[in-house]
Structure 1
């Protein structure tokens, strides 16, 4: 036997009915704190320092990427003149 019960209520009404706590004031306080910290952090960050910290990493990464492709191209060019060895059974 199956019963299907459909309840039409808002999330707030369901939360009250089930007995869950009201978390909206806590969420608001947490979001205000996060926003305040974010604004303070953004205000204290010097863009020049940030770029100086990031640029060496990105340039180093690009050099490594280029080096990898050079090694692959060199390996591929070295294999072009060599005949494939045949498998012997």
Structure 2
């Protein structure tokens, strides 16, 4: 004997039928908290704030930092090889 049942219900009705709890309020509260924290941390990761923190942490001046970056880029473009002498 073969019995087939088709049940047409929404996902919410399918959760409520076996007695599963409604998690919408908890989910909304968690998402709101995550959004609040992300927005608070967003300022720390702006390009301007990152550059200022890097330059303040560096012992040398900004001119030396700029020269160091230029050397790194030059080595990368040259394939890391020194120019012939």
TM-score bin, normalised by smaller chain = 0.5 to 0.7
- Cα deviation for residue 49 of structure 1 reads 4.4
State how far apart, in whole Å, the 2-side matches of 1:63 and 1:18 are.
62
Q: Which residue of 1 aligns with 2:65?
A: none
Is residue 42 of structure 1 aligned with residue 42 of structure 2? yes
Runs of 5+ unmatched residues, structure 1: 71-89
The number of residues matched between the two structures is: 62
Q: Alignment RMSD, CA only?
A: 3.0
Taking structure 1 as the reference length, the TM-score comes to 0.53
Shift of 1:3: 2.3
What residue ranges of structure 2 are gaps of 5+ in the alignment? 55-68
TM-score if structure 2 supplies the norm length? Answer: 0.55
